[in-house]
Amino acid sequence: MIQEYMPGRDLAFDSLWFRGELVTSYLRERLEYPLKHISLTGITGTPSVARIVVDDEASEVGIRAVKALSPRPHGFYSVDVKEDRDGKPRVTEVDGKWHTTAPLWGYAVSKAFGDLRYNIAYLYLELGLKGEAPFEVPRLNLYPEGLYLIRQLDAGVILKVGEEVFRVA
């Protein structure tokens, strides 16, 4: 098998859909992986360090990938995106589920900012149980750019917001 090498950013797009409409989404860049020394690529599952990024082109690529799978998406969809040598976002995987850390991002950001609107798992449950969102959220970029989620095996979770650091789990 021959495959193009894509040296650019390793991005993850998470999106919540309800009856064919995008409710909200966010994009993050995976920066560091635990146990990277055991893999040729250095990628070993969920990241130990990731940051929120705002990139409308990459987010639109994620939206188009989800719509290619279903004309009426419903629920959570995750899209792995890697940038090619020209910096163009390319889809490498699409799943009908959230990335493993999506609930953790929601918990961490809502706890740090004291705002339940950031808790994407709560929003998901409210949509499922009540058929409507309990509050308004943006379609794109649910979380502000530059937040860092840092975690290590058996060492808890830290959310870094600018110079502030929150131990959230």
Structure tokens at 145: 């750019």
pLDDT tens, 50-60? Answer: 999 999 999 99
46 burial (CB, 10 Å; 0-12 / 13-18 / 19+) is: middle
pLDDT tens, 19-67? Answer: 999 999 999 999 998 776 676 666 667 899 999 999 999 999 999 999 9
Q: What residue ranges define each of the domains in the chain, with the CATH number in brackets?
A: 10-167 (3.30.470.20)
Alpha-carbon span 105 to 143, nearest angstrom: 9
pLDDT at 6 (0 to 100)? 86
Residues whose CB is less than 8 angstroms from the CB of residue 16 and which lie 6 or more positions away in sequence, other chains included: 22, 23, 24, 25, 75, 76, 120, 123, 124, 127
